[in-house]
Structure 1
């Protein structure tokens, strides 16, 4: 198996793992958890798992000060804010709608990458962006109805921060192993979440005991597994193609919403899902 195919498969696996995130968050909210608590536990548990794995496998985790500071910025101001905005969006709008607005980020990534790396999108790549974006509109369109503008605003902010985060992290993972990069990002995200949470209402552990199932799922499936496969895949295929293939996460989310939240698909959503997958196929084929 060549490296390009490995990258595509890893990003698809990452998208599937990430797609559980909004579903698990909704269940955790229903169990009485709040965003501050969810995020702090998520990043804290993920940090313990990552660094335990690094120690077990005897990875060299020492980084120079410059690289460490860049990871600090990525964690505190990148992943922390992106996750917080997305979690806040899920308080006001459904996972399907939140995902639609979050997945405006591939276009932003392409634009940012063009100015930063002079990576001009090819015609095939531009076509995949258009097809995937139109597919997303169809996938989520039937769910729109009345939308709380606050949720839309938070989802769009999450998209903007995530775009900057992807481009910035691509610079670092060329020099740092994916698992090490993930470990430091969640470590500093835990730190950033602790500071922000302490200044914005604190934390609440008075939720239903079964909620721990969803919280642990958020930490292990949607953080550890999803991040490692995402970074490793991006090492092979770059940020723009990674962002496009990751659009399949929206399709996974819609399917999981139907199965786990009883939000069933319409014919138009199925057609849109096919469009999203076809856009990802164009990138994989390029």
Structure 2
């Protein structure tokens, strides 16, 4: 979602940009990791996935609309206006990267723990590699193969842990498949994201995709649910607001700032703590069981993604 780059350090405070970049990367990781926690807390009040997703997008949509307006004004001074092809590509990115990935994730979280959800979602780089090999003819190296084995072994360990922790194993399987579908949708988004971001810029792509997703999520709500479902307890609206601002808008901005200041590699390294953050928060705030199996599964997934990232470099 962001172009990588390293900002030049200030002359009088040479370490400041690096420290700030690491802080932004950590804030992004925490923000993204807490989304599942807020979803699970909201489900305790009986809200359904369609209503919660619509509320989340409704609260974040005005911010992204302002971002899009500012990006359009800035682009008017230096970039060509969007063509019909650009609008179609932005719409496709919004469908796969922001709407469908979020919707499947919300549905999955109704069946599995927040910790397992984060572990499964974190394998999206491996899905990009597999899809690229299947459809773009990009070879899978031996090192990448090792990374794939590590990641999917880790997911298997985490899923088995949840099978043993609950009585309804069918729900765990369904939730895991839904979240895996979310990861596939996000991987498809990433495959088409690079070229579009390079041509249109991060702000226009992020804002445009989010606006498309917001319209779809809100439209879906009015098709599937009566308007009375918006009458939720205040705490549900507060959780939705937190998901929209603290777990979407701010992490997107922090991620872009972190990559600009310290580059994509260190940002990815900090982001690898995401599953651990979610596992810990789920244990403390949701009373989810946290065992060695889940920690081992998360460690294997993180290790596999790290090996894959080093192989790409």
- TM value normalised by structure 1: 0.80
Maintained 8 Å contact 1:97/1:144: no
Unpaired runs of 5+ residues, structure 1, are none
Residues 137, 81 of structure 1: alpha-carbon distance in 2 compared, 3 angstrom cutoff = same
1:84-126 alpha-carbon deviations (Å, 9 max, x no partner): 1111111222223333444453332102223555543443333
Mean CA deviation greater in 88-97 or 143-152: 143-152
What's 1:268 paired with?
293
Distance of 1:174 and 1:74 partners within structure 2: 14
Maintained 8 Å contact 2:35/2:247: yes
Distance of 1:85 and 1:41 partners within structure 2: 16
Of residues 152, 172, 181, the one that matches 1:157 is 181
What's 2:125 paired with?
106
What's 1:254 paired with?
279
Give the secondary structure class of the aligned counterpart of 2:187: helix
How many residues align structurally? 282
Give the secondary structure class of the aligned counterpart of 1:59: helix
Mean CA deviation greater in 252-261 or 150-159: 150-159
Maintained 8 Å contact 1:96/1:253: yes
Maintained 8 Å contact 1:75/1:192: no
1:17 has 2:41 as partner:
no
Distance of 2:196 and 2:70 partners within structure 1: 23
Distance of 2:159 and 2:49 partners within structure 1: 24
Mean CA deviation greater in 259-268 or 226-235: 226-235
Equivalent residue runs for 1:177-256 within 5 Å = 177-203=201-227, 204-228=229-253, 248-256=273-281
What's 1:36 paired with?
50
- TM value normalised by structure 2: 0.74
Unpaired runs of 5+ residues, structure 2, are 8-17
Give the secondary structure class of the aligned counterpart of 2:163: coil
Residues 213, 152 of structure 1: alpha-carbon distance in 2 compared, 3 angstrom cutoff = same
Residues 45, 176 of structure 1: alpha-carbon distance in 2 compared, 3 angstrom cutoff = farther
Q: Which has more radius of gyration? A: 2
Maintained 8 Å contact 1:44/1:187: no
Maintained 8 Å contact 2:58/2:218: no
Distance of 1:185 and 1:269 partners within structure 2: 33
Alpha-carbon distance, 1:153 to partner? 3.5
Maintained 8 Å contact 1:132/1:247: no
Distance of 1:244 and 1:188 partners within structure 2: 30
Distance of 2:50 and 2:26 partners within structure 1: 29
What's 1:82 paired with?
101
What's 2:62 paired with?
48
Residues 88, 31 of structure 1: alpha-carbon distance in 2 compared, 3 angstrom cutoff = same
Of residues 60, 69, 75, the one that matches 1:60 is 75
* RMSD across aligned positions (CA): 3.5
1:42-95 alpha-carbon deviations (Å, 9 max, x no partner): 223222113324556853375222111211122135421221111111122222
